Amino acid sequence: MDENSLATTKICVVCSNAGVYFNSCLFRATGLPTEFIFKVLVEKMGFPDIKSRNKTRDTQGAANNVMDCNIMKLGCSEWWNKRSKRVATLEFDRVRKSMSVIVRELDGQHRLLVKGVVESLLEQSLFMQLAEGSLVPIDDQCKGLLFQRLHEMSSKGLRCLGLACKDELGEFSNYSTDTHHAHKKLLDLTHYSSIESDFIFVDVVGLREPPREEVYKAIEDCKQTGIKVMVIAGDNKSTAEAICTKIRLFSGYADLTDQSLTGT
């Protein structure tokens, strides 16, 4: 697994409040579906190396008919959580459009891990991490390539979230508990923007959420009875259009200029 993939898996796990428990021979999720999907992604990507895998009893125990509730856990997620201990959380809000955590690594270094709207994170990022771990400055050409790729993913109906990190945390570089002198800044959302800045942009993750089966018939019934259907979404415009086409609200060849609008 390359350095960029390692950073991606770490952020997906540690910057998430979702959990899992095993009951009646099934894995069940707690928390937001989007955050749990991140953890499922990490389990599919696997451990960083064979040695780590062999030392951890992961969810493959289920495949061996081992139904002990004590070991039915997300092994890769546990592996990362043991190495990057969360010490503070900057909860999501609709102004910042991001959620971040301050973690303490095994070497004692503190780092900020962030997930949020791609466009917002890019505007606050100074560098981008490449596959082997090196950093390159984010310039207009780099942004253009990233936005092009974002549009391609969104047009396929994928909800895209950006991942980023930050190593230089200033007064939070030794943050530990709520007795720390900088803790009061974590209690006021207006201070979050000063912490969430100068990122290293790591990755874009695309999530597919299939429409419920009953949606197709509901749309058709509305059309037949003359009910006009309007969709209000918080997704990227391209993503929303792709989803509306998927549920047959739009024709795949329709001109959406006057039908798809962006509000503020």
**Could you tell me which residues are beta bridge partners of residue 2?**
none
Given this model, what pLDDT does residue 118 score?
94
Q: Alpha-carbon torsion 181, 186, 192, 196, what sign?
A: positive
Given this model, what pLDDT does residue 55 score?
66
- Round to whole Å and give the CA distance between 237 and 234: 8
Same domain, 73 and 10: yes
Helix (H, G, I), strand (E, B) or coil at 27: strand
Same domain, 172 and 222: no
Same domain, 82 and 157: yes
- Round to whole Å and give the CA distance between 251 and 254: 5
**What single letter denotes the amino acid at residue 114?**
V
SS (H, E, C) 108-132: CCEEEEEEECHHHHHHCEEEEECCC
Question: In this structure, are residues 161 and 117 in contact, taking their beta carbons and an 8 Å threshold?
Answer: yes
- Round to whole Å and give the CA distance between 107 and 63: 35
Same domain, 188 and 147: yes
Dihedrals phi, psi of 206, to nearest 5 degrees: -105, 130
- Round to whole Å and give the CA distance between 132 and 130: 6
pTM: 0.81
- Round to whole Å and give the CA distance between 164 and 146: 14
Same domain, 218 and 202: no
The domain spanning residue 142 has which CATH number? 3.40.1110.10
* Best CA proximity match to 88, nearest among 155, 151, 182, 216: 182
Q: Measure Cα distances from 250 to 36, 257, 261 in Å.
A: 30, 12, 14
Q: What angle do CA 62, 63, 65 make, to 5 degrees?
A: 65
Per-residue pLDDT of the chain (264 residues; tens, 9 = 90+): 899 999 999 999 999 998 877 777 777 788 888 888 898 899 888 888 777 777 665 444 544 444 455 444 678 888 999 999 999 999 998 888 899 999 999 999 999 999 999 999 999 999 999 999 999 999 999 999 999 999 999 988 898 999 999 999 999 999 988 889 999 999 988 889 889 999 999 999 998 888 888 998 998 999 899 998 888 887 778 888 888 888 888 876 667 777 888 876
- Round to whole Å and give the CA distance between 263 and 12: 29
Q: What angle do CA 263, 189, 8 make, to 5 degrees?
A: 75
Same domain, 18 and 48: yes
- Give me 67's structure tokens: 């139904």
Same domain, 205 and 263: no
Task: Tell me which H or E stretch contains 200.
Answer: strand 199-207
Q: Quote the number of domains for the chain.
A: 2
Q: Which domain holds residue 192?
A: 1-209
